[in-house]
Structure 1
């Protein structure tokens, strides 16, 4: 069992929170190709921290939810307190909110943990309509949402996922039409910090 970070966009974080997303596909060249069933993934997303006095407030860009923390809080695992106080001190010293893009979200701030239940490598275009829906795509009226700039709906779930993938992967060899190999992960979503949910099971980090 290995703990690894995984980055999601704001739209996909909302899909995780809503229970729509139980799969994700990443390029087979990604470090996530090493993921195995039973591994735990802690979600990284864009966040902000503001500290005034003894308390601090953490907010998430995806949905503007927040939680309060303090010097003796149980919200922050003991092993992460040093990094937490460093960020609090930085905010207090600068007198402003500190923002962190998803790639730099600290482990202690993660609020979603994914338990990997399935791993397979396949060509991108092998995705089924059912798997496309499990990727967290949204309905737009009576159609599926298109994630491009057309402003129209998509008639099918696979077409919707195609536009989602294309909005994130524009480099040659990575595009939908290039049909690259991907690692497809299925998982269950647990709401909570990985070290709070599993305080005695801290494992190797990627």
Structure 2
């Protein structure tokens, strides 16, 4: 491996974030190094010395990586925001369909506490979708106009985990205290839970990737 290959490999190993975005940044760095090396080579250096000069000009990985990492952190924050918005909306729709399919024939007046909890979950769904979309915009085009750094990306990741925890707790309570479930869960509700079981795990995983991506970014 030549000096450029060694440098690019080290840079790629230091970065954390979405695979495609990371590959683009590493490819961009490689292209820049190759162009610089060709310039030095045209000035009379042999290939190895030209690559070493290009790497030296580019700067140490430890200095460059945090700047690249910021871009990857923003990309992960944008992806997580979109995932949370889509995931919460999907969960809300599936839960509503399951509830309506189980409701016919019920003879039950929900308690005030149950109605309050159901309303809180509904309004929290709206707030979570809106907040997640705003976070995605801030980490995307919004970063051109607003100073968005690793603290915001970390907050987005932690917020994603908190959203999942809230809706798991709220959904579980609503299911357990529904008279139709008898405390065990109706077939439609359990089916809906089975269908969407992987979605909360995916959302938590994306949130953790936000926290990890932000840990070594600048800003």
TM-score, normalised relative to structure 1: 0.20
Q: Greater CA radius of gyration, 1 or 2?
A: 2
TM-score, normalised relative to structure 2: 0.19
Higher helix share: 2
